[in-house]
């Protein structure tokens, strides 16, 4: 439609408008009109399935790796039951996410009549409904990752120091008794103090001190000869405030 205006100049092109579904008028050059076409079922379905396939690939890869790490971590953390349980839980959740993602990809062949709008719409609806598996797999995997992160942080910051390896042995009889002490410390903080003391009912037989090296390791050994007869020996090894006691017999 052309409207001729008075005076000089070219004629102006009028813009027409069409009503929204709620009755509101909108111009044809309104950008929202073109954007609405992107929400048509055919275009929306293509985008949805492409996104779902990308998510399935990522979820499957991460979930399989996390499943292996979770189960291995659970076996390695037997000394800490809570962390072991959480690691196993993270691995099982990751496995569930992987199964959901794979189940979405395991689509069975279908036959539809593309000339029948009812069949086509039903097929589209089925494809959209199946996306719930991808959504569920993503959320389950996120939960598994959060649990795995908690396990890793707890392992780093709450790791209990390894106990020292202590050997206490006695040889000989009578006044010719010999007592040997060997202490090996591994996995401690560098420069951690070490105190070793061997006592009997009669008093202190052996005492030694030291510190761990830059790797957190140390070794202390000693031998006490001509030990007087004693009913028992008590060896105390204190490493950074943690004490280990060994008695003989």
Tell whether 96 is covered by a domain: yes
Burial of 136 (0-12, 13-18, 19+ CB in 10 A): middle
- Residue 108 is predicted with a pLDDT of 67
Given a contact cutoff of 8 angstroms between Cβ atoms, the answer to whether 233 and 166 are in contact is no
Tell whether 16 is covered by a domain: no
Tell whether 125 is covered by a domain: yes
Q: Do residues 175 and 118 both lie within one domain?
A: no
Does 12 have pLDDT greater than 50?
Answer: no
Q: Do residues 151 and 184 both lie within one domain?
A: no
Q: Do residues 242 and 194 both lie within one domain?
A: yes
Q: Which of 105, 133, 157 is the last residue of a domain?
A: 157
Q: Do residues 52 and 144 both lie within one domain?
A: yes
Confidence of residue 1 (pLDDT cuts 50, 70, 90): very low
Relative to beta strand 2-3, strand 165-171 is unpaired
Does 18 have pLDDT greater than 60?
Answer: no
Check residues 106 and 211 and name the one with the higher pLDDT: 211
Q: How many domains does the chain have?
A: 2
* pTM for this entry: 0.51
Q: Do residues 174 and 200 both lie within one domain?
A: yes
CATH of the domain at 201: 2.60.40.10
Q: Do residues 45 and 145 both lie within one domain?
A: yes
Q: Do residues 68 and 123 both lie within one domain?
A: yes
Tell whether 27 is covered by a domain: no
Helices in 14-130 by DSSP H: which ranges? 31-37, 41-76, 81-105, 117-129
Does 166 have pLDDT greater than 70?
Answer: yes
What backbone phi and psi angles, to 5 degrees, belong to 27?
Answer: -75, 150
DSSP structure string for 186-206? -S--TT-EEEEEEEETTEEEE
Check residues 148 and 15 and name the one with the higher pLDDT: 148
Q: How crowded is residue 56: how many other Cβ atoms within 10 Å of its Cβ?
A: 21
How many CA atoms within 13 Å lie on the side-chain side of 221? 7
Q: Which of 131, 157, 183 is the last residue of a domain?
A: 157
Burial of 245 (0-12, 13-18, 19+ CB in 10 A): exposed
Q: Do residues 170 and 138 both lie within one domain?
A: no
Check residues 207 and 122 and name the one with the higher pLDDT: 207
pLDDT digits (tens, 9 = 90+) for 53-83: 787 788 878 888 888 888 788 777 776 788 8
Of the given ranges (28-32, 95-99, 152-156), which has the lowest mean pLDDT? 28-32
Tell whether 22 is covered by a domain: no
Q: Do residues 50 and 70 both lie within one domain?
A: yes
Q: Which domain holds residue 49?
A: 41-157
Q: Do residues 219 and 148 both lie within one domain?
A: no
Q: Do residues 127 and 53 both lie within one domain?
A: yes
Of 43, 44, 45, 67, the closest CA to residue 137 belongs to 67
Does 16 have pLDDT greater than 70?
Answer: no
Determine the average pLDDT of the residues in 35-59.
75
Q: Do residues 136 and 53 both lie within one domain?
A: yes
Q: How crowded is residue 66: how many other Cβ atoms within 10 Å of its Cβ?
A: 23
Does 48 have pLDDT greater than 70?
Answer: yes
Q: Which of 133, 157, 181 is the last residue of a domain?
A: 157
């Amino acid at each position: 439609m052309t409207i001729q205006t008075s005076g000089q100049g070219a004629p102006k092109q009028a813009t027409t408008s069409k009503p929204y579904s709620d009755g509101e008028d909108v111009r044809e050059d309104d950008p929202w009109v073109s954007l609405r076409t992107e929400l048509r079922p055919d275009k929306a379905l293509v985008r949805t399935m492409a996104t779902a396939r990308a998510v399935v690939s990522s979820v499957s890869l991460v979930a399989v790796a996390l499943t292996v790490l979770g189960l291995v971590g659970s076996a390695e953390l037997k000394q800490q039951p809570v962390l072991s349980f959480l690691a196993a839980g993270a691995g099982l959740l990751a496995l569930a996410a992987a199964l959901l993602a794979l189940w979405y990809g395991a689509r069975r062949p279908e036959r539809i009549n593309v000339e029948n709008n009812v069949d086509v719409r039903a097929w589209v609806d089925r494809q959209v409904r199946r996306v719930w598996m991808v959504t569920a797999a993503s959320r389950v995997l996120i939960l598994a990752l959060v649990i795995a992160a908690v396990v890793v942080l707890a392992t780093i910051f709450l790791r209990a120091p390894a106990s020292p390896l202590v050997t206490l042995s006695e040889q000989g009889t009578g006044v010719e008794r010999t007592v040997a002490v060997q202490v090996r410390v591994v996995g401690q903080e560098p420069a951690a103090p070490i105190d070793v003391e061997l006592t009997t009912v009669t008093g202190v037989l052996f005492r030694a001190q030291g510190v761990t090296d830059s790797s957190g390791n140390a070794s202390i050994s000693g031998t006490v000869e001509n030990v007087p007869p004693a009913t028992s020996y008590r060896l105390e090894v204190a490493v950074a405030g943690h004490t280990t006691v060994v008695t003989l017999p």
